[in-house]
A and B are shown apart, each in its own frame.
Chain A
Amino acid sequence: DAGVIQSPRHEVTEMGQEVTLRCKPISGHNSLFWYRQTMMRGLELLIYFNNNVPIDDSGMPEDRFSAKMPNASFSTLKIQPSEPRDSAVYFCASSNPLWGENEKLFFGSGTQLSVL
């Protein structure tokens, strides 16, 4: 199993540009999570999907952020327009409660986003 796959690994963009982060969860996992990690705020849950449906997006900072999961094997997190304060590492994680250990999270390698 390749694990959770995220792309790109690094993204450098200018303020105001649109940024799209991509995630492929582990096959068979029905829950997908987007997290943001910064030194100041630690690991923050942005949004959670279950069976491709957004369940809780209360962590999404503002309307500039949007996330989609068109099918069970793909999700995107979009920031438009991007701002310097969006600079962070964005992690995608997936899980499947039926596989035991009460929904332990499998994290992707993350996308290091820098907004100049």
Chain B
Amino acid sequence: GQQVMQIPQYQHVQEGEDFTTYCNSSTTLSNIQWYKQRPGGHPVFLIQLVKSGEVKKQKRLTFQFGEAKKNSSLHITATQTTDVGTYFCAGGGSARQLTFGSGTQLTVLP
């Protein structure tokens, strides 16, 4: 079955440093979604990428979808303490086919 690998598993950064998490699929994806889960909270949808090579930005967050639609990345510029949480990618064709990555837990040190 489809597998979605995410690295790194953990990342500690100093406030103001950049952060990147990577997502790789064993198969070509029709789309990829990104979610953020705060400590003790629930996953919250951030964005969806559909097109090959697509790049989307949300303030300090930049999302990319690879040309082959098998990988994706999330980059945060100048992290803030509010960025703390676990970031999940989820690949697939529709919600019922979503396969979640294992997540990257981000800690931002003040």
Residues of A within 8 A of B (CB): 31, 33, 42-43, 45, 48, 50, 55-56, 91, 93, 95, 97, 101-110
Given A91-B43, A101-B48, A104-B45, A43-B95 contact (CB < 8 Å): no
B48 x A102 contact (CB < 8 A)? yes
Distance in Å: Cβ of B100 to nearest Cβ of chain A: 4
Query: Known: A91-B42, A101-B48, A102-B31. Is A43-B88 also a contact (CB below 8 A)?
Result: yes
Bin the interface of chain B by size: 10 to 19
Q: State the CA gap A107–B44 with chains docked (Å).
A: 7
Give the total number of A-B pairs whose CB atoms are below 8 A apart: 53
Partner of A107, one of B31, B33, B42, B102: B42
- Docked-complex contact B103 and A42, CB < 8 angstroms: yes
When the two chains form their complex, are residues B42 and A110 in contact, meaning their CB atoms are under 8 A apart? yes
Q: Does B50 contact A (CB under 8 A)?
A: yes
- 23 A-B pairs whose Cβ atoms sit less than 8 Å apart in the complex: A33-B95, A42-B100, A42-B101, A43-B43, A45-B96, A48-B95, A50-B96, A55-B96, A91-B42, A93-B95, A95-B95, A97-B95, A101-B45, A102-B31, A102-B95, A103-B95, A104-B33, A104-B45, A104-B48, A105-B95, A107-B43, A107-B44, A108-B42
